[in-house]
Amino acid sequence: MMTPQPDETGKMVVQMFERMELEKKEYESTLQEIRDLVRPHAADFNRRGTTGDVRSTAIYDSTPVQAADELTNALTSNTTPSTERWFGFEADGNAELNRDPDAILWFEQVADIVFAEYSNSRSKFYPSVYETNADLVAFGTDNLGQEWDKENGHILFRAHPLSDTYISQNWTGTVDTVCRKLEYDTRQLIQQFPEAADWDDFKNDTKQEKKWCVIHSVHPRKDSKYGSASAKGKPFASCWVLKDKCVTLSEGGYDSLPYHTTRWSVMPGEVYGRGPAMLCLPSIRLVNRMQYTLLKAAERAVLPPMVVTNDGFAPQIKIGPDSIIYKEPGTENIEFLRYEGNLPVTMEMVEMVRNDVRKSFYADWVKFNQKSERQTAYEISELVDQQLRMMGGVNGRMNNEKFGPCLTRTVELLSAHRKLPDAPQILQGKSFKISYQSIAARAQISSKATAIGRFMQEIIPMFQVNPEAIDAIDVDALIQESAYYRGVPRRIIRSMEAIQTLRQEREQEKQMAQMAGAAEPVSKSILNLAQAQQAGNVVGL
């Protein structure tokens, strides 16, 4: 069977990809330099390395690598901790629904199911999030993929390298088109697309080792309908195209974008983000060069050049460490060439630049530095929250571009495959929103809980002077608000209705107990009278 001729979809995808590829080339030289100096284990951008080669040969100072790694760990542990649920769900814009016990219970059940799915090692959620966070810190842009594993029936996440990812955004600045460039050999291509096994180009490759460039494009469809049964009618088109042939290998669709792309910060007119590494790249270059110079100077100081008598053959003069310099016969004895550099000053300058790099990677936020004087646990907690609030802008962008779309798509996939309980009648047709409960998210709203605590501390002395002043405080509402801002699970806090019911029952029990207490003397009197009458009757007999 001959290889099919170029088709319209294939041509369109290749043209779109080439346009996006051309736009990304403007960033690739900078991204490649960041890969060399900050994230050496990432894939190359504008050159091709060999498998198993050492990727850190350009690094003479590891400060940028360590600072980026520390920031990645801090971002991951403070936004998506694997040991506790860092998100929840609630009704969107409906405070009454969020107080309904059935709605609260259902939202908590859904959140627990999603968290269990993420915690399952088969989903690869946390390793993938860590890798994308590392890309975000270094390159300013990352790409997290989320698919449904049909064979095993669960969510599957993958961290796609930025070197193979190309993005485009709509007029609102939202990334809605993602292309990935992949390299397949013939065997891999036939495994994923069995219908291509009979094509002549593949049949003639008897060893199945030839390399092919394949493009996977996910982009919006103009004529689509959410929830369409037809894959080609869904809002996002999924096209696999053989680039050199402009032939469509497969075409499908998604109800929502399966790629979650995050940018650290975006300059007007640009598509790709700029991360901390790009912002302090001059300092990274400088500290790397200074460390290289310092190492050469230190080596020359430890192994200085040796000056010896010329024996008739005088090669080119070298002043590197452990080298030999020849001089005329009859002069002084053998000596070492003294090094005149100032190593302490150079080391101080290197450390100054290192500190600049560390600050660019938010070292003050990543590492908590306790003051020398004694501090209370409350003061330490407030200081940590203050440091976490410094990352509010980045956390907000991550929630908006990564975790929000990620959680929404997860709920859609689990619901479509009947992995979630049916919603109660009160929630039918209602939309939901995500409430983030991670350490970083709680720090952003902890100031409100702090304000409530300080307010109570200030007015407690007033209650001692005038106990009736407590009437001005709705204690039940105060407890509800404090619990919410402290991230206390809603299921352990009773609703206002449940509190009223409990108090009514307690009041009824108290009234019944009072009535029983009042009736007890009367009962005893009647009993004593009955006993006396019975005794009189006996005497009369």
Question: What are the pLDDT digits (tens) for 151-185?
Answer: 889 999 999 999 999 999 999 999 999 999 999 88
- H or E element, residue 292: helix 281-302
The three-class DSSP label of residue 219 is strand
Residue 310 is encoded by which pair of tokens?
Answer: 């010329």
Q: How far apart are CA 530 and CA 522, in angstroms?
A: 12
pLDDT of the residue at 71: 92
Q: Which two tokens stand for residue 431?
A: 């939309």
Please list, residue by residue across 165-183, b when 16 or more beta carbons sit within 10 angstroms of its beta carbon and e when fewer do: bbbebeeeeebbbbbbbbe
Closest CA to 406 of 248, 262, 270, 214: 262
pTM above 0.85, yes or no: no
Residues of the chain with pLDDT under 50: 322, 541
Find, among 502, 421, 454, 341, the residue nearest to 112 by Cα. Answer: 421
Query: Which pLDDT score is estimated for 271?
Result: 94
Distance separating alpha carbons of residues 276 and 270, to the nearest angstrom: 17
Residue 341 confidence (pLDDT): 57
Are 148 and 156 in contact, with CB atoms under 8 Å apart? yes
Task: Write down the pLDDT at residue 541.
Answer: 45
**441 vs 539: CA distance, rounded Å:** 86
pLDDT attached to residue 113: 95
pLDDT for position 122: 93
From residue 335, give the alpha-carbon distance in Å to each of 281, 308, 338, 455, 538. 43, 7, 9, 78, 138
Question: Tokens at residue 345, please?
Answer: 């000053």
**pLDDT of amino acid 144:** 96
